[in-house]
Structures are given as structure tokens and as C-alpha cells.
Amino acid sequence: MRMSALLRTAALGVAVAIGLGLASAGPATASEVDRYLDLPLTNRDASQAPGGVNAALPYDHDELGRLLDEARAQGISPARYAALLYQYWLVDATGKAGIDLAAWNPRTGVQANRENLIKSYRYYEDLQLAHRELQWAGMGGQVGADFGGGLIDFELMGSDIYGLPGLSESARSVMGAVQQAAGPAAVAQLPSGLRALAAAGPNITPDDVRYIIGMILVMQKNIFSDLMPMHDAYVTAGLPALEEFRAAGLFGDDILGAWRDVASGDGDRIATGNGVLLRREQQWAIGRQWDEVRSYKGDVGEAITYASGAAGSPSVAGVTPPREFHPVRIPFTGADGRGALLTLPLPDWNWAVLDSRWDYITTELLPKYRYQVENNWPALEATMNTPYEVQMESHRPLLNIPQLLESAARDLQVTPLDAAPSNTNSTNVEAAVR
């Protein structure tokens, strides 16, 4: 069984950077430690290369622990051994999850990373099951089933993504229905992602699909590599270990404060702390990558990111699907000169846009997941105890996009703007799309 050097914490009052443990093996020489000081985090963004945070660092858990203990014993500033500290906890977390960090390469595709996806999210859910306050991990594990299932679908589509029966045609039929119901001006007000979905089909290549899958898998590894070492350190050695992260410059006062909230035992503070961790995930860890994917080759990235949001149905109980959260609503003037409102059951926003994504997360995912933890734990526990392979295979949304688009065209509604609230007075324009 492993024994983390950080478990042997020195007496209270000794500086965290020096007193977090005594060496568990023979002392490292100064030259050994010096080799690993001041290393840049060249691979903190997993898009750079496979493996850990710097190619010069070892992957052996005991060796990393021994080097860390020696650096602390010498009174070296944590900022100088930040890469060593990060690698230690990343190796510890991936080892507990059953992932081979040195071989973890998100660029090799979904099937090659299938076990890494399953083991990552299983580890997330196991943390939640063992520690009720770790709500970020539990929610991440649940949403991971949707994410993983969508990636499997996406890779299966491969070069034939727009050869699926009726996909681009279905997007165009939605636009045709809108034009017949409300005119060309209304079509121009449709979400750019929907218009891109109709236009991008002939431009998508197998290389495009591989690139976008690779970028999404990079994001998945970036999230694990940033948040899981913190979680592992918290459950293994408590807040003093996270104070060392802060002293090393691996995160700032905001994240240390979030962890203090998570550890507080107060429900509101726990929720706030987990929310800060989620914001870090969405903005700091993967925000730039989502922007790159959405802007990839113009309509191609815009179309795929819009479609993935439109198709999604989150696993968290009670959460509204993205297509029902801020659906398309377009006011227009009818042929009779009266004002009307066109409503389409598709999202008027794109998941890849941070502000829109964060609005959905804070309105739907965060509060409703917290409710499950605090009020319906047995049901949540039963879901998380389901084998993760089963959880992931039960969420395969992207193959349903053509049917979803056709359904949206059929269910388009036009409502007079002056209709009384009690009078829906809606006109189904199914006939207009036949």
C-alpha cells in the first residue's frame, strides 16, 4: 500500500513548505533535487504532449515523494518545486484512478481513451460517494456520462457525420419552416450555430472530426489534471496540502478559499466553494479550448458545437436540457400586420460560449445537483453505484440529431403577441414543413 509523505505532517506551527513530512526513503542528494527545481509546467495544457506536466519529471510515486520531502527539508521555496509537487499529486490521483499517466494521450481518439474516460469519471463519483462535500466531483462524474457517450457517437459518425440520413437536410428544413412561418428576416435571426449546421456539411472532413475529438479529449484531461490533484490532496492530507499548492503558485487565494468553504461543513459555503471550482474548470482549464473549437474553420466548429448542445440531455435529475433552456424565440410582423412570436424548440445559444454555458450551469446544474445531494442522496448514490460503462453507454445523444431537428421543425409555433396569457392560441405549422 502506498504511504504518502504528506500524511506524516509535522507539528503545528512548522511552515507548511518545510514541515509536511519526513522522507520515506533514503535522502535525495542536493543535485537530485536541483534537477527538478524551477521546471516550467510545459504540459499543464494537455494539447502539448502526452504524459505529466514536464517531460523531465519521473513518474515513480515513491521517488517523487522522496524528492519532495528533501526539498521541504532543505527549506526550498515551494514556488521552486511547484512542478515536482504538481507531478506528485497528479501521479497519485491517476494511480488511484487506475490511469497510466505517462501513456495518457488525448490525441489518440475516443476508443484509445475509452478506459481513461471511464476510470476518470468513476474516480470522480467515488470521491463524491466517500465525501459528501465534494459536489464538483459528483456532478462532474454524472455529466461525464453525457460527455463520454457523445464522444463515442461523434467518433462513430467519423467522416460520415453529414452523411447520416437527413442531418444537413433536417437543418435546412428547420430554416425553411421558419421562413414560411415568419419570413426571411426571421431566418436571419436564427442562432448562428443552426445556420452553420445547414451550411457546413460539404466542408467537414475526417481530419476535422479527428481534430475536434482530440480537442475535446484534451479538455477532459485538462480538467482531470487540474482539479483531481487538488481533490486527492484534500482527501489525503487536508487543507495543509492545499496551502502548499497555494504557496507553490499552482492556484491563487480564490481557490484556497473555495477549498476552505468545501471543508467548512456549512451547506451554503460548501455549495459556494464547489461553484468556484466549477468556474475554474469552465473558464481557466478549458475556456480557451472551447473558443478554439467553436471558431475552427468557421461554420464547421460552430455547427458541431451547436449540435452537441442541442442534442444533450444531462444526467443530473431535474435539469432542463440545453435545447429547452432559452429556446429560440423570434418576434416578427405577420402578413396581417399584427405582431407575432415564433418559438422553436432548439437552443438560441451555443455551449461553447462561456457566458451562455455559465448561465446554464448556475441556473440548472449547480442548484439541482446540490438539491440531489442534500435531499435525495439514496437515489443519487444508487445512480453512482451503477457501473460507469453502463452510465456512459446509456447516454448517446448525437445519433439522434436528425430526428431532433425534424421534431423541432414540426413543433415550431407561432403565437400572437397580444394573446392573453391564459390563451395559448398557438398555430402549429407542421403543414408548412411538409
pLDDT digit string, tens, across residues 391-408: 887 766 565 677 788 888
The three three-digit cell numbers of residue 272, written as one number: 459556494
pLDDT at 308: 84
Q: Tell whether the model's pLDDT for residue 165 goes beyond 50.
A: no
CA–CA distances in Å: residue 403 to residues 122, 162, 169, 409: 31, 14, 11, 10
Please tell me whether residues 113 and 97 are part of one structural domain: no
Q: Tell whether the model's pLDDT for residue 414 goes beyond 70.
A: yes
pLDDT at 313: 78
pLDDT at 271: 97
Please tell me whether residues 275 and 405 are part of one structural domain: yes
Give CA–CA dist 220/243, Å, rounded.
25
Please tell me whether residues 77 and 123 are part of one structural domain: no
Supply the DSSP string of 118-162, one letter for each residue: HHHHHHHHHHHHH-TT-HHHHHHHHHHHHHHHHHHHHHHHGGGTT
Rounded to an integer, the average pLDDT of 331-336 is 91
Q: Tell whether the model's pLDDT for residue 293 goes beyond 50.
A: yes
Give CA–CA dist 258/162, Å, rounded.
44
How does strand 413-416 pair with strand 327-333? unpaired
The three three-digit cell numbers of residue 335, written as one number: 402578413
Cα-to-chain-centroid distance, residue 216: 9
Please tell me whether residues 126 and 183 are part of one structural domain: yes
The three three-digit cell numbers of residue 306, written as one number: 451547436
Q: Comparing 16-20, 28-32, 232-236, 366-370, which segment has the lowest mean pLDDT?
A: 16-20
The three three-digit cell numbers of residue 391, written as one number: 452510465
Please tell me whether residues 72 and 124 are part of one structural domain: no
Please tell me whether residues 177 and 95 are part of one structural domain: no
Burial profile 214-236: b = 16 or more Cβ within 10 angstroms, e = fewer: bbbbbbbbbbbbbbbbbbbbbeb
**Domain-located, residue 243:** yes
pLDDT at 319: 93
Please tell me whether residues 369 and 255 are part of one structural domain: yes
Please tell me whether residues 383 and 394 are part of one structural domain: yes
- Nearest Cα to 395, choosing from 98, 117, 112, 26? 117
Give CA–CA dist 235/371, Å, rounded.
23
Q: Tell whether the model's pLDDT for residue 352 goes beyond 90.
A: yes
Please tell me whether residues 76 and 123 are part of one structural domain: no
How does strand 339-347 pair with strand 327-333? antiparallel
Please tell me whether residues 82 and 142 are part of one structural domain: no
**Domain-located, residue 143:** yes
Is there a contact between 9 and 19 (Cβ–Cβ < 8 Å)?
yes
Q: 3-state class of 88 per DSSP?
A: helix
The three three-digit cell numbers of residue 131, written as one number: 465525501
State percent of the chain over pLDDT 70: 84
Q: Tell whether the model's pLDDT for residue 431 goes beyond 50.
A: no
Please tell me whether residues 211 and 139 are part of one structural domain: yes
Most confident of 121-135, 167-181, 190-204: 121-135
Name residue 241's amino acid.
A
pLDDT at 209: 81
Name residue 134's amino acid.
L
Q: Tell whether the model's pLDDT for residue 75 goes beyond 90.
A: yes
Domain with 233, as residue range(s), is 105-323+354-410
State percent of the chain over pLDDT 90: 66
**Domain-located, residue 348:** no
pLDDT at 420: 36
User: Which is more confident, 406 or 158?
Assistant: 406
Indicate the Cα dihedral angle 286, 288, 291, 292, nearest 10°. -100
Q: Give me the number of domains the chain comprises.
A: 2
